[in-house]
Structure 1
Amino acid sequence: MTLGTAMSDLQRFHLHLVSDSTGETLEAMAKAALVQFENVRAEKHMWPMVRTPRQMERIMEFVEDRPGLVMYTLVNEDIRRELTRRCAALNIPHVSVLDPVIESLGQFLGARSRGLPGRQHEMDRHYFDRIDALHFTMAHDDGQLATGLMSADIILVGVSRTSKTPTSIYLANKGFKTANVPFVPNAPLPPELEGPLDALVVGLTASPDRLVQVRTNRLRTIKEAPSTSYVDMQAIKEEVLACRRLCSAHQWPVIDVTRRSIEETAAAVLRLHSAREAGLSDGGK
């Protein structure tokens, strides 16, 4: 198959994401669903913070010009009614992605939902906990602040270029105070890591082949010559082995991030954290 044929086989369509809040939940659900289909490309149109029927009218005028699938998270009945009425008139498919979840919860709890738009983004205690976690994580990024680790929920220890920083920020956005400490051969770790900690400590490693590739690209980006031990295959093999030995000596679980996205690595860390909180054993593999 030629490239031209492959491109012609690509199915394109308009995807309208309508939300009465920021649209983050809706976009994440759409993304998770789209990856299940090959040769499909959605032209996404985001419509966040839709709070009035008049806003919906204007959106539907746009949808009429670019028909496709409409996915929405709307709790206000008047706005939902306007959307479903117009979609039905235009014969445009539409789906409320949270309805099955809310209905199931309602049946399980024997209660009705409150129907408040953007409830998950209110500036409540959990919101400020997330802000505190982000401040803590940024202050303890890449070993910048060696003290204060006793206050961490999670500590990531890993060799260079194992995505410690983005993983830490992702975890912080979930409300976990996360510090990350670089493993440098023959360099001492912060003293607090040598004693008992309430935090979950997790080691991050990757295959030497992958590390050589990522580190070489990094040096090219900053216009440095890739002729140091930083990208030497044998040196990296020894570095990874030393890191694994350190984690084994401290009985820290290790996660290989070679084929994991940031989200997958964070999910593995959170699984370890939940297992630890529940008193269960989980090797993190």
Structure 2
Amino acid sequence: MSKFHLHLVSDSTGETLDAVAKAALAQFQGADPVKHSWTMTRNMRQLDFVLDDIRQKPGIVMFTLVNEEMRTALVSYCDSAKIPYLAVIDPAIAFFGRYLGEKAQAKPGQQHVLNTEYFHRIDALNYTLAHDDGQVSENLSKADVILVGVSRTSKTPTCIYLANRGIKAANIPVVKGCPLPEQLFTVKEPLIVGLVTSPDRLVQIREARLKAMNEDRSSSYADPDRVRDELVYARRLFTDHGWPVIDVSRRSIEETAAAIFNLLNQRREGSEAGKVL
């Protein structure tokens, strides 16, 4: 493993830096960074603490600073100390500046301003939490997406991820022998998506769940025959109602959400999306 110090210097929450660093490092199996996150760095006094730590633990510096004085101080130090650095959002800002013919405002944290989009995401999150695991079914028509699937097919975490992107997402468990909410079959606006996975994978997940909860391992919850039966029942249900199906066996939450966004876009464009993805 290649161990190194990685300094992430931001004048805001640092989410952008962290996301970019994670995405890039995921391509290098041998990378083992020691992260130093410096968030809300907005004056020279705070930057002095950052520079002191970089001096003691040299490595790589990635930053999102819009204040010109602070940027100049950080870059000058890195140049003099021969420390590699990257201004993460500079290329994007320059690109939009050229296209729009405007100069950037140089205001930190503008993406986190409490605007309409922010409150829309909060509203989506509140709706999603209230409609987790079939808790409330009276107003499913207000959902943007309804996820349906047997237990442990990543319905809840996918819904939370979607909500953070401003999508009102409800999820309803499929349990053989238990009727689904009537409103599920009458709503017109929400996109209803069925989630499935491979039987072997589902058995592993359920066994791990039972172990974590100190439940009896002999429970039928993780019985291979029961699991296969549940999945066959769920697939038949989705097919009968023409709901698109996503197999989450080898997908991360982000990849499942991306597939759902594609379905939403196809729907808006009037394309048919009733196939297994």
TM-score relative to the length of structure 1: 0.94
Task: Report the counterpart of residue 271 of structure 1 in structure 2.
Answer: 262
Name which of 77, 102, 106 aligns with 2:93: 102
Aligned mates of 2:68, 2:157 — CA distance in 1: 39
Task: Report the counterpart of residue 144 of structure 2 in structure 1.
Answer: 153
Give the letter aligned to residue 177 of structure 2: N
1:196-207 aligned at under 5 Å gives the runs 196-207=187-198
**Which secondary structure state, in structure 1, belongs to the residue aligned with residue 83 of structure 2?**
coil
The answer to whether the aligner puts 1:140 opposite 2:131 as a matched pair is: yes
Mapped contact 2:67–2:106 kept (Cα < 8 A): yes
How many Å apart are 1:107 and its aligned residue? 1.9
Aligned mates of 2:276, 2:262 — CA distance in 1: 8
Task: Report the counterpart of residue 242 of structure 1 in structure 2.
Answer: 233
The answer to whether the aligner puts 1:187 opposite 2:178 as a matched pair is: yes
How many Å apart are 1:140 and its aligned residue? 0.3
How many Å apart are 1:268 and its aligned residue? 1.3
Aligned mates of 2:217, 2:272 — CA distance in 1: 41
**Which secondary structure state, in structure 2, belongs to the residue aligned with residue 12 of structure 1?**
strand
Change (3 A) 1:163 1:71: same
Aligned mates of 2:176, 2:96 — CA distance in 1: 51
TM-score relative to the length of structure 2: 0.96
Task: Report the counterpart of residue 155 of structure 2 in structure 1.
Answer: 164
How many Å apart are 1:141 and its aligned residue? 0.3
How many Å apart are 1:74 and its aligned residue? 1.1
Task: Report the counterpart of residue 87 of structure 1 in structure 2.
Answer: 78
Please give the per-residue CA displacement for 1:106-141, whole angstroms capped at 9, x wherever unaligned.
222222222211011111111111111111011000
Task: Report the counterpart of residue 68 of structure 2 in structure 1.
Answer: 77
Task: Report the counterpart of residue 105 of structure 2 in structure 1.
Answer: 114
Change (3 A) 1:284 1:83: farther
Aligned mates of 2:161, 2:26 — CA distance in 1: 21
Q: After the TM superposition, list the runs of 4 or more consecutive aligned residues in structure 1 that deviate by more than 6 angstroms.
A: none
Name which of 12, 29, 32 aligns with 1:38: 29
For structure 2, list consecutive stretches of 5 or more residues without a partner in the other structure.
Answer: none
Aligned residues: 276
How many Å apart are 1:191 and its aligned residue? 1.0
Change (3 A) 1:210 1:108: same
Aligned mates of 1:133, 1:273 — CA distance in 2: 16
